Each structure stands twice: as structure tokens, then as C-alpha cells.
Amino acid sequence: MKIASWNVNSLKVRLPHLQQWLADAAPDVVALQETKLEDSKFPVDEIAALGYRSVYSGQKTYNGVAILARGEITEVVTDIPGLDDPQRRILAGTVGGVRVVNLYVVNGKAVGDEKYAYKLDWLARVRDFLAEEIVRYPKLVVLGDFNICPDDRDVYDPVAWGEDILCSPPERAGLAAITALGLADSFRLFEAEAGHFSWWDYRQAAFRRNMGLRIDLILISDALKSLATSSVIDRTPRTWERPSDHTPVALELAL
């Protein structure tokens, strides 16, 4: 089973890339972020034509998450229980016995900004939700755009970046509180080296210069760790014409 995550930065603009990538990479499940589409405008038919079912929780202009899968997607959840949040940033579903939780974590703008406070609170709420999910669903995958670099290996210039947004200690602590539930950063099960990124700014020719960050993560529970056979970043779509600023990441499970 191949499970992927991709922040498409507008599904309307990126639909051709998604169609191409589904055909090339043939994932069983894909979590999308920043679809920026109202549910009534989700391209269900175009995606069905490629053999995928869709569930989605969208909003106009901002945010929006979706899960596409070859199999049936059940037990869908679109909100953190108890959190009244109009921003569409979380979507959970069960596919082939695996619980998939798709996250579009708050960016936060800058350390100290009110959006930063919202980010830290949102992360804490997600942690509490996942603490319940992992009990109910031992085979748990939590993936998406985390908007946090796990450590300095995930930053092109960690000295220059310092403790700014996406790398501040409270953000990393928020992520650590989630991994401490028993959720491993699957990419690091296979690759220890620095310099592997999933996002590059559109400005300053950042992709060409590999000035990127690894902020798109696939976390897996202990029950799935022994089944993981690879976890990679697929840079190819970032080389295409008019790309998303993020490129897909993908996990292979022996399931």
C-alpha cells in the first residue's frame, strides 16, 4: 500500500499535475492540502476517471483538505472534536484497515503573531485528538503539511533560519508531543542525511538552488513501522511547468 501527501496549492490550478502524478506514481491513498476549493467545486469526476474516490473538506480561497483512495474511505471526520474552527485543515478516514489523518497545520506567519498562537493551540488540540485515534486505530498514519521542520537537517540553512517560524522550539515541541504518542517520522526511518526537502519558496530560484525545507511529513504508528518499506520525497512534480511550491511525499507499506 502506497500512501502519499501533497500540498497542491490550489487544486484548480494543479489538477493536471495531480492527474499526471496519480498516473505515474499510482498511490493507493493521497492526502491533499490547500485545495482552496468549495466542496461543490471539487473535481470528483475527473479524479474518479483515474480510479480514485474522493472525500474532502474544503473552503474558498484558503486551506481545504482531501483524501483520494482507490479503496473505500470510511469513518470520515472533518473536525477536531470540541474545536469550533471554520478553517478546513483536518480530514480523517479509514482505508483498507489503515487510519489516515490528513493535516494542513497552521503556518503561523511569524513567532509571536496571533496566527502563531493559533498554530500552537491547534497543534495541542490535534495531539489530544490523535491520542484518542491511536488507541482506537493502532494502524495509524498522520500525514500532511506540518509547517514545521523537525530538526536542523530539514532546513537548507539552519543557522540563517535560526528559531524563526517553522523552526521555533515551541513549534518543534508541539510536533514532538505528537511523535511522543508513538508516531515516527517515516522519512527518517530510511534517510538520516540533511538536505532533503519537500518545499521550496517560489522566490529567489529557491528550488534550483535547493533552498528548501522538509515540512511535509508522514508519521506512522508502531504497528505500521515494521511494515514500512520506503518513505521518499518525489521531487519530479516540482520540476514541472507552473508547479506547487510543495512536492509529494510517499510511504510504502507491506500491506
Kindly list the residues in this chain that would bind DNA in the complex (CB under 7 A): 9-10, 12-13, 36, 60-62, 106-107, 109, 115, 147, 201-204, 242
Strands 90-95 and 199-200 turn out to be: unpaired
The verdict on whether residue 245 carries a ligand-binding annotation is: yes
Q: Phi and psi (nearest 5°) for 65?
A: -130, 155
* Contacts (Cβ under 8 Å, ≥6 apart) of 176: none
The verdict on whether residue 191 carries a ligand-binding annotation is: no
Q: What is the DSSP letter of 223?
A: H
Please name the residue that has the C-alpha cell 486551506: 63
CA 250/CA 143 separation, integer angstroms: 10
- Please, which residue, 26 or 83, has the CB nearer to DNA? 83
Which residue type, as a one-letter code, is found at position 31?
A
Q: Which of these is catalytic: 28, 52, 56, 145?
A: 145
The verdict on whether residue 7 carries a ligand-binding annotation is: yes
**Grid coordinates given for 59:** 473552503
Q: What is the dihedral of CA 4, 89, 7, 134, to 10 degrees?
A: -20
Q: Which of these is catalytic: 154, 185, 216, 246?
A: 246
- Please, which residue, 124 or 223, has the CB nearer to DNA? 124
Q: Which of these is catalytic: 56, 104, 137, 156?
A: 104
CA 214/CA 191 separation, integer angstroms: 12
Inter-CA distances, 181 with 78, 131, 202, Å: 21, 6, 34
- Please, which residue, 125 or 225, has the CB nearer to DNA? 125
- Please, which residue, 140 or 166, has the CB nearer to DNA? 166
CA 191/CA 188 separation, integer angstroms: 5
Least Å from the CB of residue 208 to DNA: 11
Least Å from the CB of residue 134 to DNA: 27
- Mark whether 246 is an active-site residue: yes
Is residue 232 left, alpha or beta, with left meaning phi > 0 and alpha meaning psi from -120 to 50? beta
Least Å from the CB of residue 25 to DNA: 20
The verdict on whether residue 196 carries a ligand-binding annotation is: no
Strand partners, 145: 104, 216
Least Å from the CB of residue 153 to DNA: 21
- Please, which residue, 93 or 150, has the CB nearer to DNA? 150
Least Å from the CB of residue 199 to DNA: 8
Binding site, by residue number, is 7, 34, 145, 147, 245-246
Active-site residues: which are they? Answer: 104, 145, 246
Binding site for Mg(2+), by residue number, is 7, 34, 145, 147, 245-246
